[in-house]
């Protein structure tokens, strides 16, 4: 049975979302909408639920990853493999604004709950389908996950050092970037529906690889016009000179990147080498990049031979863009994170206070409500079926008896 849960608050209150997805890309798109007040009803498989619930690290038997990404949602259990479960999905889809799914293309159509079937029940429906390679094309039915999308989009080929294999980034960048694209595309489609499209919904086809490919900056244009290919260069980047992750005296690293003459002059003053601004080797960005090893060595020597507090104070005084490369222990102690409340402690019924990233960005006129903890599996099944579909307790009990919910 459902426990008492706070109603959604925020600028998207009144938008109702049915989430039929697992893991990150689709579900986190729903989480982003839920963070700003959308009512998100997550459908999970009875008994097992979303696989992310079973991926660690764990505290008191609870997946912490699930508790971050499952926040602000309701959880109901429906077996999508069963005809009665598919019927429930069609009935629920008639009551919502948005459906989000990230199954392999064709799966929901096979079950009778694809866009064509659901839009017949609800012509106003906006449906987001997230997949590795998209809904069309020769690779559409291939399975894909975050790392596969990073590889296919050309991202991994330029990540790492040239004498070593490609390196994956530290988080699921393709999944999370697709989630951002997904939330954005849903809002575009809702705007179109309500202001341009005469209340008619539509189907959104979002691929993991294109979410990454779009943000490979000038990679394609440079190849097309100049024949340039992007390869692994470690921390070397054409837009940064000087630019590197410089070791400090105490074993940390400082990230510093310069892309214009004004910032370079500030660096020169900071390291007490103002004459370098006029050195013909470094007088333009192009020349600095051509002599990158030399200028990086000069800056790196100053950083590694100067106490870190002094490095920070000097760079701050001169207005140089830089940051210590933070670990999470640095983050939780940092005054700026604390002042902006970039993370919060969410009261959790089983884990007590649970720290997680706060909702972002901040709106001056329509702030979001407080974060609600992730639900236990099926916590809201009875309430949702009763409130949205008008089912009686005996009808729900019968569905539970035959393992539909």
Residues designated as active site: 175
Instruction: Tell me the torsion sign for CA atoms 315, 319, 321, 323.
Output: positive
First to last CA, the chain: 12
Phi and psi at residue 10, to the nearest 5°: 135, 180
Token pair 């970037």 in the structure block, residue:
177
Angle, helices 25-35 vs 173-195, to 10°: value is 60
Phi/psi of residue 16, nearest 5 degrees:
-110, 130
Contact 149, 143 (CB under 8 A): no
Rounded to 5 degrees, what are φ and ψ at 267? Answer: -60, -45
**Token pair 């990073």: residue:** 150
Q: Can you tell me the distance from the alpha carbon of 144 to that of 166, in angstroms, rounded to the nearest whole number?
A: 18
118, burial (CB in 10 Å: exposed 0-12, middle 13-18, buried 19+): buried
Helix axes 381-389, 83-93, angle to 10 degrees: 60
Q: What is the dihedral of CA 332, 333, 337, 343, to 10 degrees?
A: 30
Enumerate residues 6+ apart whose C-beta is below 8 A from 336.
342
Q: Could you give the CA distance from residue 262 to residue 362 in angstroms, rounded to a whole number?
A: 31
* Look-up of token digits 């863009």: 321
Element (H, E) at 247: strand 243-247
Rg, Å, the chain Cα set: 25
**Sequence-separated (6 or more) residues with CB below 8 Å from residue 391:** 385
Helix (H, G, I), strand (E, B) or coil at 115: helix
Alpha carbon of 348 to those of 72, 352, 374, 376: distances in Å?
12, 5, 8, 11
Of 24, 20, 19, 53, give the one whose Cα is nearest residue 144: 24
**Left, alpha or beta for 30 (phi > 0: left; psi -120 to 50: alpha)?**
alpha
């Amino acid at each position: 049975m459902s426990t008492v849960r706070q109603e959604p608050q925020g600028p998207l209150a009144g938008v109702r979302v049915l989430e039929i997805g697992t893991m990150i890309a689709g579900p986190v798109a729903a989480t982003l909408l839920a963070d700003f007040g959308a009512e998100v009803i997550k459908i999970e498989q009875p008994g097992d639920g979303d696989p992310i619930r079973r991926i660690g690290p764990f505290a008191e038997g609870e997946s912490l990853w699930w508790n971050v990404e499952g926040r602000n949602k309701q959880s109901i259990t429906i077996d999508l493999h069963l005809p009665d479960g598919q019927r429930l999905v069609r009935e629920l889809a008639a009551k919502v604004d948005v459906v989000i799914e990230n199954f392999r293309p064709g799966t929901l159509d096979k079950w009778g709950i694809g866009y064509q079937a659901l839009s017949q029940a609800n012509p106003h429906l906006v449906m987001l389908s997230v997949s590795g390679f998209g809904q069309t094309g020769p690779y559409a039915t291939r399975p894909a996950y975050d790392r596969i999308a990073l590889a296919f989009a050309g991202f991994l080929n330029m990540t790492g050092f040239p004498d070593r294999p490609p390196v994956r980034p530290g988080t699921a960048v393709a999944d999370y970037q697709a989630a951002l694209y997904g939330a954005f595309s849903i809002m575009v489609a809702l705007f179109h529906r309500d202001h341009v499209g005469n209340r008619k919904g539509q189907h959104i086809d979002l691929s993991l690889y294109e979410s990454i490919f779009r943000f490979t900056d000038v990679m394609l244009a440079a190849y097309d016009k100049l024949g340039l290919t992007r390869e692994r260069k470690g921390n070397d980047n054409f837009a940064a000179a000087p630019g590197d992750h410089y070791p400090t005296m105490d074993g940390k690293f400082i990230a510093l990147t310069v892309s214009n003459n004004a910032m370079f002059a500030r660096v020169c003053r900071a390291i007490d080498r103002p004459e370098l601004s006029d050195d013909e080797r470094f007088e333009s960005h192009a020349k600095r990049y051509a002599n990158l090893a030399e200028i990086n060595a000069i800056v790196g020597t100053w950083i590694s031979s100067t106490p870190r507090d002094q490095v920070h104070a000097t760079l701050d005084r001169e207005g140089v863009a830089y940051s210590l490369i933070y670990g999470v222990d640095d983050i939780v102690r940092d005054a700026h994170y604390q002042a902006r409340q970039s993370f919060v402690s969410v009261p959790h019924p089983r884990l007590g206070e649970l720290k997680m990233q706060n909702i972002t960005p901040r709106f001056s006129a329509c702030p979001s409500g407080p974060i609600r903890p992730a639900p236990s599996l099926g916590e809201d099944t009875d309430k949702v079926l009763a409130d949205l579909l008008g089912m009686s307790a005996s009808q729900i009990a019968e569905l539970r008896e035959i393992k539909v919910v």
